[in-house]
Amino acid sequence: MNIAVIGAGAVGLFLAASFKRPGQDVVLVTKRAEQAALLADRGIGVTGKIKAEKNVQTQVGIGTKRFDLIVCAVKSYDVASIVAIGQSLAHDETRWLFVQNGMGHLKEIADLTGKVAVGVLEYGLFKEGDTVVEVRGLGSLKIAPFKRMTEQDITVIGDAADGQVLHIQTFPDHNPILEEKLIANACINPLTAITGERNGAFIKQQGYMAAMKSVFDEAVAVLGRNNDEALWHYVVAVCKKTANNESSMLVDYQQGRKLELDAILGYLIHLGEKKQIDTPRLLLLYQLLNRGETK
C-alpha cells in the first residue's frame, strides 16, 4: 500500500511512523525542505511512552504520485488548501483519513470525491525538533466513516498501522467521537492557553474546575448533549490522563502561531447562533484568544 501523510508536526510525525511497516511505502509531505532533508537523513524518532525509529520517504509540498491512503494531519485551518490541491494525489479507490481537532473542517471535506474517514487522536504528543516526537500520554486513534466509506475500507486503514506504535479503534458513526473530542478541546485548550497552565491544573484547583464546567455546560447545550454525564467524566479523565501535558493550543499561543479557534470555539458559537442558544463563555474565550482570526 502506498500511503501519504500530509503534515509533519507532532501528529504527522507520529502517524507517519505508525503507518510505516514492512511492505508499505510511506511518504511524509512537509512544508520545509530543511525538515524533509533532516527526516531523510535521520528518520522519525518516537520517544517517551512508545519507542520506535522509522525511515520514511519525504517530499516538499504536494507532488504527482497517487496514493492508496492519504492521511491529512495538518491543522484544521489548513484543510481547505489540502482539499483544493490534494485531489491530484488520489485515484478512484483512494481512502482519505482526516485527523484534526474540532469539527470546523467537516464542511471543507464534504465535497471531496473519494472515500473519506475522519479520526480523533488521543495520544499526548510533543514535537522535539523536526524529526522526533515524544509520546507523553497513551491513547488511541478513533476512526469512523464520513462519506463513501465501507466497513471494509475502515478495516483496511486499521490493518495498515503498526500495532506496536498505534492503537486504532473503529466506530460506525463519526459524530459521537468528534463531538466528544470537540467538547474536551473546548473545555481544556482555550483555558490552558489563557492561564498558561498544564492540563492537570484544571482538576486540581477548584476555580479552574468551575470555569471548565461552565464552558462544558455551554458546549453540551449547543450540541444537544445536556444530559450526557459521561461526557463530563470523559473531560475530567482527559485532564487526569494528560495532567503533565501542555495543550496544543497553549503551545501554539506561546509560540505566536495561529490557533484552531474556528474549528473548536468558532464551530460551537456558530452552531449556537443557528439554534438561538447563547454562548457567552465560549464567545469570551474566543475574543480573548483571537489575534486577527475570523470566526
Instruction: Write out the catalytic residue numbers.
Output: 181
**C-alpha angle with apex 153: 147 to 156, nearest 5 degrees?**
145
| C-beta neighbour count of 289 within 10 angstroms | 18
User: Could you identify the residue written with the cell 449547543?
Assistant: 222
Cβ-in-10-Å burial (0-12, 13-18, 19+) of 282 comes to buried
Question: Which of these, 239, 243, 227, lies nearest to 187 by C-alpha position?
Answer: 239
Torsion region of 23: left, alpha or beta (phi above 0 gives left; psi -120 to 50 gives alpha): left
Rounded to whole angstroms, the Cα distance separating 273 from 295 reads: 12
Question: Which of these, 279, 88, 120, lies nearest to 184 by C-alpha position?
Answer: 120
* CB crowding 201-228: b at 16 or more within 10 Å, else e: bbbeeeebeebbeebbebbbbbbebeeb
Question: Which of these, 112, 110, 61, lies nearest to 84 by C-alpha position?
Answer: 112
